[in-house]
């Protein structure tokens, strides 16, 4: 059974601080996605990474896919209260069209 573990599970930081969220698995994924979900809404896709070692930047967010395509990280620089939410990683294995979601990291950024 594929399992995506995210750490930390909860994170509360002050505005302006930096943070990193990790997504780890023993399985190899052909693609991995990061989502942010706010209360009462569905997850919204932030990025998709497909190549081992790939780094993508989205404003203050930096996403990295591990060389072995088993893990990923999300780094936020100078966090803002608007970054508050549940961050989810989701991985797909080659030949399947379903994404397995991680356990989630709940981030709270205090003003």
Partner 1 sequence: GAGVSQTPSNKVTEKGKYVELRCDPISGHTALYWYRQSLGQGPEFLIYFQGTGAADDSGLPNDRFFAVRPEGSVSTLKIQRTERGDSAVYLCASSLAPLEGNTQYFGPGTRLTVL
Cβ proximity to partner 1, 83 vs 104, nearer residue: 104
**Binders in 6-65 for partner 1, by CB under 8 A:** 6, 30-31, 33, 40-45, 48, 50
In the complex, minimum distance from the CB of residue 84 to partner 1, in angstroms, rounded to a whole number: 16
In the complex, minimum distance from the CB of residue 40 to partner 1, in angstroms, rounded to a whole number: 6
In the complex, minimum distance from the CB of residue 79 to partner 1, in angstroms, rounded to a whole number: 21
Cβ proximity to partner 1, 40 vs 82, nearer residue: 40
Select from 12-20, 53-61, 69-77, 95-103 the region that touches partner 1 (CB under 8 A): 95-103
Q: DSSP for the chain? A: ----EEE-SEEEEETT--EEEEEE-SS--SEEEEEEE-TTS--EEEEEE-STT-EEEETTEEEEE-TTSSEEEEEESS--GGG-EEEEEEEE-TT---PEE---EEEEEE-
Who contacts 96 (Cβ-Cβ below 8 Å, separation ≥6)? none
- Interacting residues with partner 1 (CB under 8 A): 4, 6, 30-31, 33, 40-45, 48, 50, 88, 90, 92, 94, 96-104, 106
């Amino acid at each position: 059974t594929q399992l995506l573990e995210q750490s930390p599970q909860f994170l509360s930081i002050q505005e302006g601080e930096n943070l990193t969220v990790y997504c780890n698995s023993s399985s190899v994924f052909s693609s991995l996605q990061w989502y942010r979900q706010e209360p009462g809404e569905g997850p919204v896709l932030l990025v998709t990474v497909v190549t081992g070692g790939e780094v993508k930047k989205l404003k203050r967010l930096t996403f990295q896919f591990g060389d072995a395509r088993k893990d990923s990280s999300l780094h936020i620089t100078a966090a803002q209260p608007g970054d508050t939410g549940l961050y989810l990683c989701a991985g797909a294995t080659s030949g399947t069209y379903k994404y397995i979601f991680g356990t989630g990291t709940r981030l709270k950024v205090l003003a």
